[in-house]
């Protein structure tokens, strides 16, 4: 057979071999069909561990109460008892090693997330005591009058629990 007929064939074979070699080098060893089958489980297995190793930032009230027993006692049982500490104090990932990392949000915008009055009876929002921030002591921080760890307690009065 003449050389000019076979030559393109050699080129094609060479391209296939190159692609297979590149695939061998570039595709990680743990890439393939995993538990969920070919349609949903075709992936690099090591990536599951990558996601599991993401750093936890919110350490939840269970972590905070280990040291801040007094504040925990104040808020438990109060109407704010279900609010996680870090919702207002910021994520505690670097606490207590880096005290600067916690930013306590004392802005009115934080409180009116729930306490802006919306008359939506079909949701729980309609039953939350709300204000109109434009008329309810504007420019004053809520914490000036209200104790956030127990809203039933106001300065000068006994705590009503």
Spatial distance between the Cα atoms of 79 and 100, rounded to a whole number of angstroms: 29
Our finding on whether 144 is near other proteins (CB under 8 A) is: no
Q: Restricting to residues 31-60, name those near other proteins by CB under 8 A.
A: 31-44, 47-48, 50-58, 60
Our finding on whether 101 is near other proteins (CB under 8 A) is: no
Give the 3-state secondary structure of residue 102.
Answer: coil
Our finding on whether 119 is near other proteins (CB under 8 A) is: yes
Total binding residues for other proteins by CB under 8 A? 56
Our finding on whether 77 is near other proteins (CB under 8 A) is: no
Q: What is the dihedral of CA 107, 108, 113, 117, to 10 degrees?
A: 180
In the complex, minimum distance from the CB of residue 104 to other proteins, in angstroms, rounded to a whole number: 14
In the complex, minimum distance from the CB of residue 118 to other proteins, in angstroms, rounded to a whole number: 6
Spatial distance between the Cα atoms of 18 and 34, rounded to a whole number of angstroms: 27
Spatial distance between the Cα atoms of 88 and 79, rounded to a whole number of angstroms: 15
Angle at alpha carbon of residue 141, lines to 139 and 146, rounded to 5°: 135
Quick one: 9 or 140, whose CB is closer to other proteins?
9
Q: Looking at 15-131, which runs of residues are DSSP E strands?
A: 31-33, 42-44
Our finding on whether 120 is near other proteins (CB under 8 A) is: yes
Quick one: 53 or 100, whose CB is closer to other proteins?
53
CA nearest neighbour of 42 among 27, 51, 32? 32
Residues making contact with other proteins (CB under 8 A) = 1-2, 5, 9, 13, 16, 20, 31-44, 47-48, 50-58, 60, 80, 82-84, 86-87, 90-91, 109, 112-114, 116, 118-125, 128, 133
């Amino acid at each position: 057979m003449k050389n000019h007929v076979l030559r393109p064939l050699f080129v094609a074979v060479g391209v296939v071999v190159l692609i297979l070699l590149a695939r061998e080098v570039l595709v990680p060893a743990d890439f393939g069909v995993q538990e969920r089958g070919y349609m949903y489980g075709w992936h690099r297995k090591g990536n599951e561990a990558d996601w599991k190793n993401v750093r936890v930032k919110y350490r939840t009230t269970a972590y905070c109460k280990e040291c801040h027993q007094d504040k925990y006692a104040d808020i438990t049982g109060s109407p704010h008892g279900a609010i996680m500490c870090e919702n207002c104090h910021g994520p505690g990932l670097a606490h207590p090693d880096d005290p600067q990392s916690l930013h306590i949000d004392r802005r009115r915008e934080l409180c009116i997330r729930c306490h802006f009055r919306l008359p939506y009876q079909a949701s729980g929002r309609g039953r939350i005591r709300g204000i109109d921030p434009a008329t309810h002591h504007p420019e004053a921080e809520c914490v000036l009058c209200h104790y956030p760890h127990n809203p039933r307690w106001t300065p000068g009065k006994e705590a009503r629990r």
